[in-house]
Amino acid sequence: MDCKLTILKQTAEGENISLEANFDPKEQTGEELRESLSSCFDLIDIRLREMNMRVIASNRMVKKMPAEAQVAISQAIDMLFGRAPKQDIVREYEAARREAQEAEKKAEAGHGNSGKLKKPVGNA
């Protein structure tokens, strides 16, 4: 009779790591299973260590930025990892959409029907 073993690890950054193994308890002892999975655990440890080093490096870089940039980066990360409230995400999306529409209107206002830039008015 095969059994399935699933080990789940969720990191502080929101990443999920899953390790699954099938084994037959009649043929394999717990110690044998542990030994066969040890290389998988080593890979998970390497992955977590690499991720932790990237997080430390990025945190150091962010600390060198102005406070306003730090807050913006923190908010963006919260949105990406699903920690931001839905209304914050909707508000930011709508603001970005409005800004894009305004930029498009300004670009259109600077062009005539022919697609060429309008000539400046005045002594230019």
pLDDT at residue 63 greater than cutoff 90: yes
pLDDT at 111: 66
Contact 70, 63 (CB under 8 A): yes
d(CA 80, CA 70): 15
Q: How confident is the model at residue 90 (pLDDT cuts 50, 70, 90)?
A: confident
Helical residues (DSSP H) of the chain, grouped into ranges: 30-63, 67-80, 86-109
Looking at residue 12, its pLDDT comes to 67
pLDDT digits (tens, 9 = 90+) for 29-48: 778 777 877 777 787 788 88
Neighbours of 92 (CB within 10 A): 14
